[in-house]
């Protein structure tokens, strides 16, 4: 069930609750007056009171449920703004960190490994300088769409780390599988062009990744992946580097 459908369901439930509560209170009051026997026609009073209560309760419940629905939508918008990058719609750095820490907790319970990948668009500044920042923003959006399409739905996580740098969490993969995913994405980006104001723009990306284990330090893993990314950048760009023990020894 989507978030929108859940909000509608919750609002209808709230409507029924408010309306039922109001009618029950009115009915209780009517019965109390009826038992006092101070009215000339108690039954007529009971019916009339219930009709008036319904006329008041239903509009009140409608307004209250609409307010509840709008409040939930507003809360979801705030949550979305707090967890996503406004340009690409991907997870922001803060929320991606939470996703990675959740993955490490899952590993402690169930075992397995994951890979943390940083990739950066090569010479992206030239795109902004030549075509303008709007073209750069359009390119970033397209890169985000392509990267997301190459990942495994809800299992892998994708975020914007900052500027033209992206971060990926590949769940339940080993070192070789992670390399294959990175290289497939690298090749896909290399062969992609976007059209902006009649101009065709292409770009390549450099990748660095490190394995994320249950007992690892997230910051240390990010640092290692960043070093691997630097190696990819400094040795020709448009390539994938694994931040293994050999790279650490070299550094």
| Catalytic site positions | 164
Instruction: Say which residue the tokens 């976007």 belong to.
Output: 194
Q: Is the dihedral of CA 61, 67, 70, 76 positive or negative?
A: negative
User: How far is the C-alpha of 103 from the C-alpha of 109, rounded, in Å?
Assistant: 10
User: How far is the C-alpha of 39 from the C-alpha of 244, rounded, in Å?
Assistant: 89
How many helices and strands in the chain, by DSSP H and E?
8, 7
Tokens of 229: 């990314």
Q: Report CA 140 to chain centroid distance, whole Å.
A: 17
Q: In the chain, what are the helix, strand and coil shares in percent, each to the nearest 5?
A: 65, 15, 20
């Amino acid at each position: 069930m989507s978030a929108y459908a859940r909000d509608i369901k919750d609002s209808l439930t709230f409507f029924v609750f408010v309306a039922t509560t109001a009618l029950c209170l009115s009915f209780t009051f009517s019965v109390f007056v009826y038992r006092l026997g101070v009215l000339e026609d108690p039954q007529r009073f009971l019916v009339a009171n219930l009709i008036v209560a319904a006329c008041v309760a239903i509009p009140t419940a409608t307004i209250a449920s609409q307010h509840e629905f709008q409040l939930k939508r507003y809360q979801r918008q705030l949550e979305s703004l707090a967890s996503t990058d406004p340009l690409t719609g991907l997870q922001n750095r803060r929320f991606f960190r939470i996703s990675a820490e959740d993955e490490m907790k899952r590993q402690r319970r169930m075992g397995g490994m994951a890979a943390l990948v940083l990739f950066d668009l090569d010479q992206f500044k030239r795109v902004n300088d030549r075509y303008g920042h709007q073209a750069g923003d359009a390119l970033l959006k397209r890169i985000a769409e392509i990267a997301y399409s190459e990942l495994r739905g809800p299992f892998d996580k994708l975020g914007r780390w900052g500027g033209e740098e992206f971060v990926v969490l590949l769940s339940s993969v080993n070192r070789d599988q992670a390399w294959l995913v990175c290289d497939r994405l690298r090749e896909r980006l290399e062969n992609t062009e976007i059209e902006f104001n009649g101009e065709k723009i292409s770009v390549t990306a450099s990748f660095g990744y490190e394995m994320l284990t249950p007992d690892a330090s997230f910051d240390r893993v990010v640092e290692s992946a960043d070093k691997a990314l630097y190696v990819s950048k400094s040795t020709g760009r448009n390539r994938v580097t694994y931040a293994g023990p050999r790279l650490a020894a070299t550094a």
